[in-house]
Amino acid sequence: MTTPSNDAERIITSQPPPEPGSDLALPGEVMPNTLHLLPLTERPFFPAQSVPVLMNDTPWVDTIKAIGDTAHQLAGLVVVDTRDADQAQPRDFRLIGTAVRMHHPMRNSGKLQFIAEGLQRFRILEWISKAPPYLVRVEFPDDVLDEEEQLKAYGIAIINTLKDLMPLNPLYSEELKYFLNRFNPNEPSALTDFAASLTTASRDELQEVLETLDVLERMKKVLVLIKKELEVARLQVEIREQVEEKLSEQQRKFFLREQLKAIQKELGISKDDKTADIDRFKQRLEGLELPEAVQSRIDDELQKFSVLESGSPEYAVTRNYLDWMTGMPWGRYSEDNFDLDHARDILARDHDGLEDVKDRIIEFLAVGNLKGEVAGSILLLVGPPGVGKTSIGRSVADALGRRFYRFSLGGMRDEAEIKGHRRTYIGAMPGKFAQALKEAGVANPVIMLDEIDKIGASFHGDPASALLEVLDPEQNSEFLDHYLDVRLDLSKTLFICTANQLDTIPSPLLDRMEVIRLSGYITEEKVLIAKHHLWPRQLDKA
């Protein structure tokens, strides 16, 4: 063997290689009665084809050499009923294949490649060698050419369909030019085989065409296949045009929007997103009395935000931070209503029974009325589930005329839920109390801490310890949220906690609260609850 400069090996045989197309199988030409076989797995090879064939070096290199040593240098390409061609056994080979002339066999990187020039169908008669290189005795059956007028009509139909396909796929034009250089377009068998080779039909459909010796029947089958191909090609063109039209429309709208933005910016009519955000942040702060440290922090962040590029990772982080900072109710308070008669009416409207509890709450509000505020007070409502602890907290907020915000501490195990996540973390957010102030829109809401007896602890920290700072009147005026990184004044907030039992509440936390116990209801109170609350509610739902 010699090694050419392109690192591919030419397979040397004892016979000189023929030129492609120099010795086509013509009518009456003597064909050999034995052929060496090579397997195909994807689709059959047709006599009208001339394309490269690629296969593994092992175990077929000896077959290629044996073919090259013959005088005719013909091979038999046959479809096999197995996915792995290298493991094909004689029982896997179909009976009918195509005799091809092999040109320029090459070896490269463990692969074999040659140009296969299709010549004629053959049928396997007998296996001479049942191990590679496979050798079989064959016969070359003649095509059945009857009903010349119908053959001509079907030939015209096939040619017209191919003409319809040519504008839809440039590949068909190139293949048709090559076919016309080799064959007479009026030859029905060659025309039919050529048309079949162009289709993307399944292996079994194409093998059925190859095995059909009656040319008229073969033409009928192929015409159906290329008609399907035409419909598929038209659908592909239609889909491509729809996609291109949609993309063109989207691009046109994008360019128009960009031009409109540029024009509006020049005229001062509109601003870009960053400028609009900055103006929105500044507008939120109008009329608010911000602490000096908060004002300084917001000014610094606005300055940084103004020079950041919108594609920068820091851009979204800074924008979210400013959105939170400017959304907080700095210095915004609601006015308390200490009208005790009004409070009694609301408690009576929302709850039947619980007279001792109502008296305690009225007493609590009366003390607040004398002091002028209820700040610094933390109520703890203790009782079994379903006695109305949460609804009483809402009634207290209604009586005072304050906004109400509730969240549950049950199962909370992360200290960051209370004090917020630091901004360096992905998806960081402020703690629950900062969220409560922003949601309420005032700095003195009623915040209900539900199920404080079910708070937990984990390696993320102890939320109960973090609550000590929140519920301590001496410290909560300067509560530090880790996300906002500024001091929040929670001293004006009224905290109402609920629990089912006192045993699981840490003692330092319990000492900061005023405990109000709620017992169950007697039968008469349950009847009133059903009559005044449950029954009307069900009627409204119905």
In tens, the pLDDT along 110-138 reads 788 888 988 999 999 999 988 888 999 99
The pLDDT value recorded for residue 540 is: 81
The pLDDT value recorded for residue 180 is: 65
Q: What is the DSSP secondary structure assignment for residue 170, as one 8-state letter?
A: H
Q: What average pLDDT does range 280-294 have in this prediction?
A: 85
Say if residue 135 is in the same domain as residue 151. Answer: no
The pLDDT value recorded for residue 148 is: 83
Q: Is residue 332 part of a domain?
A: no
Say if residue 437 is in the same domain as residue 401. Answer: yes
Listed in sequence order, the DSSP H helices in 268-388 are: 273-285, 292-307, 313-327, 340-350, 355-371
Q: Tens digit of pLDDT for each residue in 41-57?
A: 889 999 878 889 888 88
Look at residue 3 and tell me whether its pLDDT is greater than 60: no
Residue 512: count of CB within 10 angstroms of its CB: 17
Residue 268: count of CB within 10 angstroms of its CB: 7
Q: Is residue 182 part of a domain?
A: yes
Say if residue 92 is in the same domain as residue 168. Answer: no
The backbone torsions φ and ψ at residue 166, rounded to the nearest 5 degrees and listed phi first, read -60, -45
Q: Looking up tokens 């003692």, which residue turns up?
A: 507
Look at residue 188 and tell me whether its pLDDT is greater than 50: yes
Q: Which residue has the higher pLDDT, 532 or 339?
A: 339
- Amino acid letter for position 178: Y
Say if residue 227 is in the same domain as residue 130. Answer: no
The pLDDT value recorded for residue 22 is: 41
Q: What is the token pair recorded at 42?
A: 């994807």
* Of the residues 94, 119, 139, the one at which a domain ends: 139
Angle between helices 188-198 and 170-182 (to 10 degrees): 150
Q: What is the token pair recorded at 13?
A: 């045989």
- Please give the mean pLDDT across all residues of the chain: 82
Q: Is residue 542 part of a domain?
A: no
Closest CA to 107 of 20, 6, 21, 36: 6
The pLDDT value recorded for residue 5 is: 37
Confidence of residue 6 (pLDDT cuts 50, 70, 90): very low
Q: Is residue 333 part of a domain?
A: no
- What is the domain extent for residue 248? 143-270
Q: What average pLDDT does range 174-192 have in this prediction?
A: 74
Say if residue 71 is in the same domain as residue 166. Answer: no
- Amino acid letter for position 327: G
The pLDDT value recorded for residue 44 is: 93
pLDDT above 90 covers what percent of the chain?
Answer: 13
Look at residue 185 and tell me whether its pLDDT is greater than 50: yes
Say if residue 370 is in the same domain as residue 384. Answer: yes
Say if residue 387 is in the same domain as residue 523. Answer: yes
Confidence of residue 364 (pLDDT cuts 50, 70, 90): confident
Q: Is residue 22 part of a domain?
A: no
Look at residue 103 and tell me whether its pLDDT is greater than 60: yes
Lowest mean pLDDT among 274-288, 351-365, 519-533: 519-533
How many domains in the chain? 4
The pLDDT value recorded for residue 336 is: 82
Domain of residue 34, CATH code:
2.30.130.40
Q: What is the token pair recorded at 352?
A: 């039947």
Lowest mean pLDDT among 7-21, 23-37, 50-64: 7-21
Q: Tens digit of pLDDT for each residue in 202-214?
A: 889 999 999 999 9
Q: Is residue 3 part of a domain?
A: no
Q: Tens digit of pLDDT for each residue in 235-271?
A: 888 888 888 888 788 888 888 777 777 776 676 665 6
Say if residue 165 is in the same domain as residue 64. Answer: no
* Of the residues 139, 169, 199, the one at which a domain ends: 139
Q: Which range has highest mean pLDDT (111-125, 234-248, 372-386, 449-463)?
A: 111-125
Look at residue 20 and tell me whether its pLDDT is greater than 60: no
Say if residue 505 is in the same domain as residue 364. Answer: yes
Look at residue 473 and tell me whether its pLDDT is greater than 60: yes
The pLDDT value recorded for residue 387 is: 79
* Of the residues 232, 254, 270, the one at which a domain ends: 270
Residue 193: count of CB within 10 angstroms of its CB: 26
Q: What average pLDDT does range 369-374 have in this prediction?
A: 77
Which is it for strands 34-40 and 135-139: parallel, antiparallel or unpaired? antiparallel
Q: What average pLDDT does range 449-476 have in this prediction?
A: 80
Q: Looking up tokens 């994807």, which residue turns up?
A: 42
Which is it for strands 50-56 and 378-382: parallel, antiparallel or unpaired? unpaired
Say if residue 131 is in the same domain as residue 228. Answer: no
The rounded distance, in Å, linking the Cα atoms of 274 and 258 is: 15
Lowest mean pLDDT among 85-89, 307-311, 518-522: 518-522
The pLDDT value recorded for residue 36 is: 92
Say if residue 284 is in the same domain as residue 256. Answer: no
